[in-house]
Amino acid sequence: MRLVDVLVIGAGQAGLSAAYHLQHRGFTPATRAGRADRTFIVLDAEQAPGGAWQHRWPSLKMGTVNGIHQLPGFAVPPAHPDASSRDVLPDYFADYEERFALDVQRPVRVHTVRGATPQDGAETRLIAETDSGPWAARYVINATGTWTRPFWPYYPGMENFRGRHLHVRDYVSADEFAGQRVVIVGAGVSATQLLEEISRVADTFWVTRTEPEWLDDLSDADLSAAVARVEERVRQGLPAQSVVRVTGMYRAPWVRRAEERGVLVRHPMFTRIEERGVRMPDGSFEPADVILWATGFRAELAHLAPLELRTPQGGIRVANGRSLDEPRLFLIGYGPSQSTVGANRAGRDAVLAILDDPALAEKHAIPA
Ligand code: FAD
């Protein structure tokens, strides 16, 4: 059993922010620490640096991402707006890890996190079972993102569809839909971006559950109010929602372009899926070759199941990035911190909370 003070799971924006703040406040990667050091380790399931950015679709350019907040202490290098985010950002993350010698261990997947038993001989710790063996940590900072949990709602008849279903997670390029009829489901940023893109080569039909609320401007006050709403939801143990979902849809340049070209035409959600298309609430039929589900992602938390933190509503009770029911656990990049700026702050705040914890102070009061 390897012992560590802080185990960080995931090396996306959130995990690297936590690692940076640990390093800058005197923690050393466990792989090169002496006995007296405060230690941390970052485990990441990917083959390479970049978190989810390395998997985004190629047409998500630096000029069309939603705004990337730099990781703490090192600016994103200037990039052409047409450069693909999946090329620029993983390189930036790789440089970042190297620059600050964060010593991320990969590919290492954490399968479960549980409380230690007397047999583990590390009673006050959390035990992470991983691909490379167990770690016993005083604190776990969970930063596992959402990319690995694409959300597909169920609609009757879904299994009978003869065309192609795909989630935006598997989208590569509009060219593969040239000349086809594509039903796009979803009201978020991805749905509208891909609608604008795909409608240039295919016939698109856009459906959403509710009429999107369009905003011409998004003030700081609107954003703060949205963050506060999401914060309150996760405090109550309701499923986390992204801030973007609460703010309403900003009329971004691609939205305006789609409007100008007359393709931003919203229809209500279909009621069932048939072999060759979808049935609308008024009984009419819309043919489809492809159904593209731009229906979002859920937090990747399956490995935390042994801690039994799920509420009956399906969330985990979290306040200020810390589990209310398991104070040794932090969840960052979760709920209100599910953005590059939110993930940065949550990484810092988790480290500050750990430094404030009397348990850690006690450990280091004892000479090694
Ligand atoms: P990730 O980048 O997903 O990193 C999580 C890491 O954890 C991954 O490397 C993963 O492999 C690893 N991991 C997962 N499970 C395990 C496990 N069990 N064991 C070990 N490792 C594990 N936000 C913005 O602010 N601006 C944008 O422009 C923007 N664009 C977006 C576009 C899309 C299409 C999507 C889906 C989201 C976008 N977001 C954007 C939100 C974005 O997801 C966050 O801002 C941020 O990049 C997420 O960082 P993260 O560290 O939480 O997650």
Mutate to test the pocket of ligand 1, among 66, 88, 132, 247 (most ligand atoms within 8 A of CB): 66
Nearest protein CA to atom 32 of ligand 1, as residue: 65
Minimum-distance ligand 1 atom for the alpha carbon of 46? 11
**Are the C-beta atoms of residues 39 and 27 closer than 8 Å to each other?**
yes
Q: How far is the CA of 200 from the centre of ligand 1 (A)?
A: 29
**Are the C-beta atoms of residues 43 and 15 closer than 8 Å to each other?**
no
Q: How far apart are the first and last CA of the chain?
A: 18
The structure tokens listed for 36 are: 């007296």
Minimum-distance ligand 1 atom for the alpha carbon of 147? 3
Q: Is 70 in the pocket of ligand 1 (CB under 6 A)?
A: no
Reference 280, options 220, 339, 206; nearest CA is 206
pLDDT band at 367 (very low <50, low <70, confident <90, very high): very low
Q: Is 11 in the pocket of ligand 1 (CB under 6 A)?
A: yes
pLDDT score of 363: 57
Nearest protein CA to atom 29 of ligand 1, as residue: 66
Q: How far is the CA of 29 from the centre of ligand 1 (A)?
A: 22
Minimum-distance ligand 1 atom for the alpha carbon of 339? 45
pLDDT score of 361: 64
Q: What pLDDT digit, counting tens, does each position of 55-89 carry? A: 999 999 998 888 889 999 999 999 999 999 999 99
Measured distance CA(248)–CA(295) in Å, rounded: 15
Q: How far is the CA of 178 from the centre of ligand 1 (A)?
A: 30
- Average pLDDT of every residue of the chain: 93
pLDDT at 245 over 90: no
pLDDT score of 365: 47
Q: What pLDDT digit, counting tens, does each position of 203-221 carry? A: 999 999 988 888 888 788 8
The structure tokens listed for 208 are: 């959403």
Q: Is 165 in the pocket of ligand 1 (CB under 6 A)?
A: no
pLDDT at 106 over 60: yes
| Residues, the chain | 368
**Region 230-239: what's the mean pLDDT?**
94
pLDDT score of 358: 78
Minimum-distance ligand 1 atom for the alpha carbon of 145? 53
Give this prediction's pTM.
0.95
Q: Is 194 in the pocket of ligand 1 (CB under 6 A)?
A: no
**Region 92-100: what's the mean pLDDT?**
98
Q: Is 109 in the pocket of ligand 1 (CB under 6 A)?
A: yes
Mutate to test the pocket of ligand 1, among 112, 144, 295 (most ligand atoms within 8 A of CB): 144
pLDDT at 368 over 90: no
Mutate to test the pocket of ligand 1, among 7, 13, 348 (most ligand atoms within 8 A of CB): 13
**Region 27-49: what's the mean pLDDT?**
94
Q: What pLDDT digit, counting tens, does each position of 149-177 carry? A: 999 999 999 999 999 999 999 999 999 99
**Region 254-271: what's the mean pLDDT?**
95
Percent of the chain with pLDDT over 70: 97
Least confidently predicted of 211-215, 309-313, 346-350, 361-365: 361-365
DSSP sequence for 119-158: GGT-TTSEEEEETT--EEEEEEEE---STT-B-----TTG
pLDDT score of 362: 61
**Region 301-321: what's the mean pLDDT?**
96
pLDDT score of 241: 77
